[in-house]
Amino acid sequence: MAHKLFIGGLSFSTSNDRLRELFAQAGGVESATVVTDRDTGRSRGFGFVEMATAEEADAAIKKFNGQEVDGRMLKVELAKPSGSGGGRSGGGFRSGPRGGNRW
C-alpha cells in the first residue's frame, strides 16, 4: 500500500516529472502529482507523492521537509485522508440578526 505525502511550497515551475525525480532520492515513488488550477492549468504550489512503503515515506519527510528546492522551502508531511480537509460543513438553519424564525 502506498503512503501519500502532502508537498507544500513547490516552485510554480515544478513538474510532475521533477517531483517524481526529486522524491525518488528517498525511495520508491508510486505517483507524483503537482496540483494545478483547473481554469489556468498553472501549478497551485503544492502536490502529492505516494511512496511505496512507510519507511520510504518517513525518509522522504526527514530528507525534504524544510529543505529549499528550486528556491522555495518545502513542507512535507503525511497527507490527511480524503474527506478530512477543511472544507465547508453542510446544512443547518442560520437565523438572522433578529434571531428566531425568518417567517
Domain ranges of the chain: 3-78
Q: Closest by alpha carbon to 82, among 37, 52, 48?
A: 48
8 A C-beta contact, residue 15 and residue 87: no
What is the topology classification, in CATH, of domain 3-78? Alpha-Beta Plaits (3.30.70)
For helices 54-64 and 16-23, what crossing angle results, to 10°?
Answer: 100
Mean predicted lDDT score pLDDT of the chain? 87
pLDDT at position 100 is 56
Strands (E), 1-103: 3-8, 29-36, 43-51, 68-69, 72-73, 75-78
CA triple 32-35-39, angle to 5 deg: 145
Q: What is the pLDDT of residues 20-41, one digit of tens each?
A: 999 999 999 999 999 999 999 9
Please tell me the predicted confidence (pLDDT) of residue 2. Answer: 77
How many percent of the chain have pLDDT more than 70? Answer: 79
